Amino acid sequence: MTEVHAASRRSAPSRRRTTHPAPAAPFRLGDISFLNCAPLRWGLRHGGAREQFALASGPPEWLAEELLAGRLDAGPVSLVRYLRHPDAWELLPGGLAVGSDGPVRSCHLVSRAPLGELDGAVVALSRTSRTTTLLARILLEDALGVRPEYRPAPQHLDSMLATADAAVLIGDEALRLHARPPAGLRVQDTGALWREWTGLPMVFAVWVVRREVARERPERVRAISAALAEAAALARAHPAAVARAAAAESARGSDGPLSEDVLLDYYRVLDYSLGARQLAAVREFAHRAAARGEVPLADPPPSTAPGGHP
Ligand SMILES: C=C(O[C@@H]1C=C(C(=O)O)C=C[C@H]1O)C(=O)O
């Protein structure tokens, strides 16, 4: 497995003169650089698939742009992004997602006042998120009947709350808010709110493959999908080792380490599966998003993930 980073990416000049057949181009697989994908990174490192692809890590919006530009072949994208690009991408065979059936711990609506009192208030929406920000709007307006004003903002709690009454955040910063809730703020888990309201799990991100790649390299796509499924299963079977590795990963950032206990609990609730219940949740969310004109009213996603593991 080769780690490819955005900053060091450069296209090599084409000077090949050999008559030997060119080796198959490496498969370029995306990876969300948040702790939500640390178990998969661990599983891929410890499984047998590391030579099959080059892994490019970045935030979800960067991955979506790289996939659209054809610089990645497959990878995870925010659910809203998937719903917006039905012509470009299809679900990875076998199905893989970032979701939860209840609290997710890392996708929050943070407010000073109770959510029911946010009528006319200003809610800052993290530009890092497409799905949680829309989910928060759906919850506030459809479930709670309040009509705030929304402002997209860079994801940083203090600066968001300097000019807003509430903020929507995701990823490691949101997980830290769950682990250490700041005094005077309510940290409300959007996965839990959605579950209470609909009875459904929530799917925040899905792995997609570019349609062209699915058509031209179906064997390779199935092998990558099997490697990811194996990585998820391996990580599930070794929760303590995964939490230890993720705690070490969290310590490399500038915001302070997260404890192994917090991460063990996180990976107990985080769910990579995309089965019938999760797909029903995707259809419910897609229906509500389309009613707002946020995603096209296209063919609904299938009720079972396309099969694929060899
Ligand atoms: C659970 C999470 O899932 C994510 C939430 C996303 C979103 O809200 O758009 C996008 C990708 C995932 O990283 C998280 O980031 O904490």
- Can you tell me which atom of ligand 1 is nearest the CA of 132? 8
Mean pLDDT, residues 30-36: 98
pLDDT value of position 256: 84
Cβ–Cβ < 8 Å for 261, 83: no
Q: What would the two tokens of residue 215 be?
A: 């058509």
Complex ipTM over 0.90: yes
Task: Identify the band that residue 13 occupies on the pLDDT scale cut at 50, 70 and 90.
Answer: very low
Question: DSSP letters along 186-221, please?
Answer: EEEEHHHHHHHHHS--EEEEEEEEEHHHHHH-HHHH
pLDDT value of position 297: 82
What is the average pLDDT score of the chain? 91
Mean pLDDT, residues 126-150: 98
The model's pLDDT over 211-241, given as tens digits with 9 standing for 90+, comes to: 999 999 999 999 999 999 999 999 999 999 9
Task: Identify the band that residue 11 occupies on the pLDDT scale cut at 50, 70 and 90.
Answer: very low
Domain annotation for the chain: domains and CATH numbers: 2-10+25-99+203-291 (3.40.190.10), 107-198 (3.40.190.10)
Q: Is 34 in the pocket of ligand 1 (CB under 6 A)?
A: yes
Task: Identify the band that residue 205 occupies on the pLDDT scale cut at 50, 70 and 90.
Answer: very high
pLDDT value of position 25: 77
Residue 212: HSE in the Cβ half-sphere, 13 Å Cα cutoff: 8
pTM of the model: 0.91
pLDDT value of position 49: 76
Pocket test for ligand 1, best of 81, 110, 170 (most atoms within 8 A of CB): 170
On the 0-12 / 13-18 / 19+ scale of CB atoms within 10 A, 55 is buried
Mean pLDDT, residues 251-255: 85
